[in-house]
Amino acid sequence: MLTLASEVEVLARFGRALADPIRCRLLLALREAPAHPSDLAEELGISRTRLSNHLACLRDCGLVVAVPVGRRTRYEFADPRLGHALQDLRTAVLAVESDRTCPDADAKGCC
């Protein structure tokens, strides 16, 4: 049974999904069009096993759904408005301090 998430839970789930660069790339690919896992793995240049783990996370977060198409499965956004939300986030201007507090930011790709 599907349930609706609270506003805070929706934001937390979105944050979890966006916390990984591969999941970000995956969401941006799905923003263009629904796709099959084999096509997504090829487009992103990752193994199907790795892709499967990321798709499972996005399903658990409630952002994508698996749609059976014959003998294959296609992935798409659970809500079409997620594509618009991603576009808004992509074009948002962030105020980032040039004096980062994490000394390993460049090596770790964080902060």
End-to-end CA distance of the chain: 38
Region 38-52 average pLDDT: 96
- Tell me the whole-structure pTM to 2 decimals: 0.77
Q: How far apart are CA 82 and CA 17, in angstroms?
A: 12
The answer to whether 41 and 48 are in contact (CB under 8 A) is yes
Q: How far apart are CA 68 and CA 34, in angstroms?
A: 12
Q: Which residues pair with 72 in a beta bridge?
A: 69
Structure confidence by residue, pLDDT tens digits, 6-26: 888 888 888 989 999 999 999
User: Percent of the chain at pLDDT above 70?
Assistant: 83
Q: Examine the pLDDT at 1 and tell me if it is beyond 90.
A: no
Q: Which residues pair with 68 in a beta bridge?
A: 73
Q: How far apart are CA 54 and CA 57, in angstroms?
A: 5
Task: For residue 52, count other CB atoms closer than 10 A to its CB.
Answer: 13
